[in-house]
Structure 1
């Protein structure tokens, strides 16, 4: 074989091996990075679920149990049965939630069901083995702070990818089956629970229990959604470029620009325009409105609530990527 062709063939073989080696290391690095992210998320979820278990247990044993106050949902059912029978709460937590865990496996998914089973079993174990002091016997304080700690515990568990109250799983299942909203189903379930509490435990305890439920639900919303409420803003205006620059430079926010058409007039004529979309916090609405007034007072602006966001130029609240 010609020496020149031998050199070319050798170089080709060496280059091919280098490319294969480089591709191998890239794939290996990618797999390692994926494994690191998975382990990090699992540890974070475990921490949040554990924090939720102990927080909820403190709400139970430090406030609610000694005063026979209840909450809504599966937790409320467990507390109500515990108040009426000698059955311990830690067994009732498992017994009442077990059907919901099985349902979660079919309705939501395997990973969620496993985490939920671990969270409920952990809560039951803590209730059975860990002692908490009875903080107060004042009924109003018990209702407010018992609900606060219970709602915080449920919220932390949700941030960890699990629930320690299976009512929402039932609500999701029934909403899919009957076409009703999840909120309506949860309200209906809680009406039945508090009506039973009023009948068996008395009107006063039922009323305090409603305060407990309101406190828990508000705390849950705060833990899950955070203190900031995000607002998605869509702007259609003639001065779209100037508005885009204002949002980036003055507001310090990112924007997405869509190419669109706007229709106007009786004939339905259209005109090409840039549509601007951005996400701000509730506290920044007034500033954005003021700046828009300076540029184009007649700009068409649509605002809507955004439950959660990821990435971009919005500063995320703590635990938001849980």
Structure 2
């Protein structure tokens, strides 16, 4: 690591420890683990923000290179913003922020403040890109506009989600409503977009609404390809010598339930005796980046197996309420 950056991390670690133990000297043994945690956080944050920046510029290209010049719309919060821009002539960048703001407030309560802050930053950057960055108009062919406009918009949404944020808040609303109603997230998103496309057919034309549906399908399939779907859960198996620290982190910091298996090593003489506990937990795709960051802080060499979980029934798959931690 860069010596200058390493010195900054050491100073930050020392200051944090000095605040916790004002009357005791801070030793190097105490600083090293905290510096390592800062290094992990910095590396993961850098990777996530790179994903977000790529996503924002891709979505901006889909909007300004395809949809906006040809008066096309999309589903979700972006589609609502495009419709409002057509009706009111308010700048699209401002509308993107205003329309997504209620969804981000919901996100802060259902997913977490860090996710909400990153989403605000991503949406604000998208508004800036839409307003100030000039993209070339690629084509005037309506079919190509619908398909590739949706593709680049979906790529932007998917990459932003890989970075732990959203640039279209209707996914957050769908997650929130699915927990309140007996509907899947896919059903909620479908209902929201039916309303948007119906309004689009009335305000613009039926032909425009039909092309908008094609744009939405292209975007949705691209998002599925990038992040394997918003509504899917991920089953995570973790094998580590520091299994107890990982269990405490999952249950107390992430507020997720987990199952512990008694494991034995299967290689060489290790297979003859008890080896270590194996942790299994289920998180949403949006929480996966945070879980990986926290695991790296505890054990960078942990063996992690991740798989998409299609169906769930029973058990506790939602976050535990804060009061249960006491």
What's the TM-score bracket when you normalise by the shorter of the two chains? 0.5 to 0.7
Please report the TM-score for the alignment, with normalisation by the length of structure 2: 0.63
Please, which of 203, 209, 212 is the counterpart of residue 209 of structure 1? Answer: 212
Give the C-alpha shift of residue 225 in structure 1.
3.1
2:96 is the counterpart of 1:75: no
| Residue matched to 1:3 | none
Q: Deviations over 1:45-78 (max 9, x none)?
A: 1111111111100100000001121111111111
Q: Structure 2 vs 1, CA of residues 44 and 198 (structure 1 numbering), >3 Å: closer, same or farther?
A: same
Give the C-alpha shift of residue 32 in structure 1.
1.1
Please report the TM-score for the alignment, with normalisation by the length of structure 1: 0.63
Please, which of 46, 50, 62 is the counterpart of residue 49 of structure 2? Answer: 46
Q: Deviations over 1:240-284 (max 9, x none)?
A: xxxxxxxxxxxxxxxx9989xxxxxxxxxxxxxxxxxxxxxxxxx
Please, which of 93, 96, 99 is the counterpart of residue 96 of structure 2? Answer: 93
Please, which of 219, 222, 226 is the counterpart of residue 222 of structure 2? Answer: 219
| Residue matched to 2:150 | 147
How large is the RMSD of aligned CA atoms in angstroms?
A: 3.1
Aligned length: 225
Query: Aligned equivalents of 1:125 and 1:35: distance in 2?
Result: 30
2:161 is the counterpart of 1:158: yes
Give the C-alpha shift of residue 156 in structure 1.
0.7
| Residue matched to 2:30 | 27
Query: Aligned equivalents of 2:191 and 2:228: distance in 1?
Result: 24
Alignment of 1:128-143 (within 5 A): 128-143=131-146
Query: Aligned equivalents of 2:304 and 2:102: distance in 1?
Result: 42
| Residue matched to 2:119 | 116
Q: Structure 2 vs 1, CA of residues 26 and 122 (structure 1 numbering), >3 Å: closer, same or farther?
A: same
Structure 2: stretches of 5+ with no match in the other structure: 1-24, 236-260, 265-283, 293-301, 308-326
Query: Which structure has the larger Rg over C-alpha atoms?
Result: 1
Q: Structure 2 vs 1, CA of residues 24 and 225 (structure 1 numbering), >3 Å: closer, same or farther?
A: farther
Structure 1: stretches of 5+ with no match in the other structure: 1-20, 233-255, 260-305, 317-322
Please, which of 176, 181, 199 is the counterpart of residue 178 of structure 1? Answer: 181
2:55 is the counterpart of 1:66: no
Give the C-alpha shift of residue 120 in structure 1.
0.6
Alignment of 1:183-202 (within 5 A): 183-202=186-205
Give the C-alpha shift of residue 137 in structure 1.
0.4
Query: Aligned equivalents of 1:44 and 1:120: distance in 2?
Result: 18
Query: Aligned equivalents of 2:109 and 2:75: distance in 1?
Result: 24
Query: Aligned equivalents of 2:50 and 2:129: distance in 1?
Result: 15
Give the C-alpha shift of residue 85 in structure 1.
2.8
| Residue matched to 2:40 | 37
Q: Structure 2 vs 1, CA of residues 314 and 98 (structure 1 numbering), >3 Å: closer, same or farther?
A: closer
Query: Aligned equivalents of 1:140 and 1:108: distance in 2?
Result: 37
| Residue matched to 2:107 | 104
Query: Aligned equivalents of 2:59 and 2:216: distance in 1?
Result: 13
Q: Secondary structure at the match of 2:117?
A: helix
| Residue matched to 1:269 | none
Q: Secondary structure at the match of 2:140?
A: coil
Q: Secondary structure at the match of 1:223?
A: helix
Give the C-alpha shift of residue 312 in structure 1.
4.5
